[in-house]
Amino acid sequence: MTVAVPGKLRRDARPPIEMDAAPAPGTATARPTIVPRPWVAVLLFDREAHGHAPTDAAVRRFWTAVVGPGAVADLLRLTAAAQTGRRLREPVHLSLLAAEGLVARDGDLVLVRPMIPFLAERHQRMLHPALRAEYRRLITR
C-alpha cells in the first residue's frame, strides 16, 4: 500500500483519494443559486389560550404524529424565540404550521401562542387508534 501524495489521484492508495479535492478552509464559495432564508420576528399572542406547555412531552408525542418532527421542532424554536425576544431565520415548516393554525404570519412577523393548542378533532382523527385513545385519556384527566 502506498501513501497518497498531494495533488495526485492515487488509485492504489486506500481509500483512493485526491488530495486537492476539498478547498482550503475559508475559501469555499456558495452556489450562485442559494437564497438565504429571511429573518423573522416572533411575538406571543393569545396569552390566555389553553393547551400544552411547550415543554410538555405530549407536544412531541402527539403533534409530531400530526405535523411531523421537523415542524414540531420549528414550532418549539419559534415559541422559545418569542419568549426570549429573539429573531430567527424563517423556519422551513412555517407554512405548514400556519396551515394547521399553530402560528400566524404577517410579513416578517410570526405570531405564536405561549401554549401549544390541544389537538382538534380533525387532528385526532389523523392519529393511529391506539395513539388517539392515549391522547383522549390524557386530556380527560
Q: Which strands sit side by side in the sheet containing 87-89, from one edge to the other? A: 87-89, 39-44, 109-112, 103-106
In a domain, 47, yes or no: yes
CA–CA distances in Å: residue 135 to residues 49, 56, 65? 19, 13, 11
Q: How far apart are CA 55 and CA 75, in angstroms?
A: 12
Among residues 41, 47, 45, 34, the alpha carbon closest in space to that of 107 is found at 41
The predicted pLDDT at position 46 comes to 85
**Would you say the C-alpha torsion 124, 130, 131, 133 has a positive or negative sign?**
positive
Among residues 62, 67, 74, 70, the alpha carbon closest in space to that of 131 is found at 62
In a domain, 127, yes or no: yes
The predicted pLDDT at position 110 comes to 96
108 burial level (CB within 10 Å; 0-12, 13-18, 19+): exposed
For residues 24-44, average pLDDT: 83
Q: How far apart are CA 67 and CA 85, in angstroms?
A: 25
Which segment of 9-23, 37-51, 82-96, 104-118 scores lowest on mean pLDDT? 9-23
In a domain, 27, yes or no: no
In a domain, 95, yes or no: yes
In a domain, 52, yes or no: yes
Which segment of 25-29, 85-89, 97-101 scores lowest on mean pLDDT? 25-29
pLDDT confidence band for 112 (50 / 70 / 90): very high
The predicted pLDDT at position 141 comes to 81
In a domain, 67, yes or no: yes
- Bridge partners (DSSP) of residue 106 are 109
Provide the number of structural domains found in the chain: 1
In a domain, 114, yes or no: yes
For residues 47-51, average pLDDT: 86
Amino acid letter, residue 134: E
Range of the domain at 77: 39-139
In a domain, 125, yes or no: yes
